[in-house]
Amino acid sequence: MATNRFLIWGGKGWVAGHLEALLKSQGKEVHTTTVRMEDREAVQAELDKIKPTHVLNCAGCTGRPNVDWCEDHKEQTLRSNVVGTLNLTDCCSLAGVHCTVFATGCIYHYDEAHPIGGPAYTETDPANFTGSFYSRSKGHVEELMKFYTNCLILRLRMPVSDDLHPRNFVTKISKYERVVDIPNSNTILTDLLPASILMAEHADTGIYNFTNPGAISHNEVLSLFRDIVRPDFTWRNFTVEEQAKVIKAGRSNCELDTTKLENKLKEYGYVVPEIHEAYRVCFERMKAAGVN
């Protein structure tokens, strides 16, 4: 059997950097690229040059400093998140290459059928959050992309690394003047990225909610952060209504059901820890590494 060759799209990105380091630590052959996903000829040329067995798509437009940017740059957002993502998936399909897309679960929000503490959203629930253009673009492209038989779609939410990188969800909320306090599904990268490689190597396809099981509130996260990493840390809360006055786009708040993911990973002997325990261990790793 031929050796797997991984090609990471969006190679200069935050998640891409973690994936590259993880693959190298596992002794895997890995390449990265920053070719624009919407440039079909360039994408095809890159695939032909590297000849990967697996593409890991970490590219896309989230906006800087946050998703509010997408509200004023709708065409650029569509070009990357819809045209580009579909184009790369399609080129991989034609070339017979498995494509893993690091997507988002920020396409839902709590409603009457899915209240806080109630039933969580499954992979088959239609997207219902339209409060931000970013989330709308992601919800629409997933509906099309899911028909590609070479494509694995992993829905991350509020990703967290073991450092205080600016893209880390904990870094973001620790720097906000005030935060809302709502339970959400989160993705601890140390727990989930190894699972993404396992699933790609097994040629899994379809949509998976890609978070730690359970939901955790902002206050619970920051309390653990204070107790373990930064003892003098303080924060203040405000309501969603107050938050809406200082942001351009709405923010998704929801819990994703991880039953499908957990069952799949059991086949490979891999277990993803529940979110409260996962955060505690993540912060212990931070403390041990001298992060504060």
Q: What tens digit of pLDDT does each residue of 28-42 get?
A: 999 999 999 999 999
pLDDT at residue 197, rounded to an integer? 98
Q: Which of 61-65, 168-172, 221-225, 263-267 has the lowest mean pLDDT?
A: 61-65
What does the pLDDT look like over 100-116, one tens digit per residue? 999 999 999 999 999 99
**CB distance 186 to 157 below 8 Å:** yes
Q: In this predicted model, which residue has the larger pLDDT, 73 or 273?
A: 273
**CB distance 263 to 209 below 8 Å:** no
**CB distance 57 to 9 below 8 Å:** yes
Q: 251: closest CA among 166, 131, 78, 155? A: 131
- SS3 for 30? strand
- Alpha-helical segments (H) within the chain: 14-25, 40-50, 68-72, 74-78, 85-95, 133-145, 169-175, 189-201, 218-228, 240-244, 259-266, 275-288
For the cut 90, the answer to whether the pLDDT of residue 142 exceeds it is: yes
pTM assigned to the model: 0.95
Q: 162: closest CA among 25, 290, 30? A: 290
Q: Alpha carbon of 26 to those of 13, 89, 247: distances in Å?
A: 20, 25, 41
What does the pLDDT look like over 154-165, one tens digit per residue? 999 999 999 999
What's the whole-number average pLDDT of the chain? 94
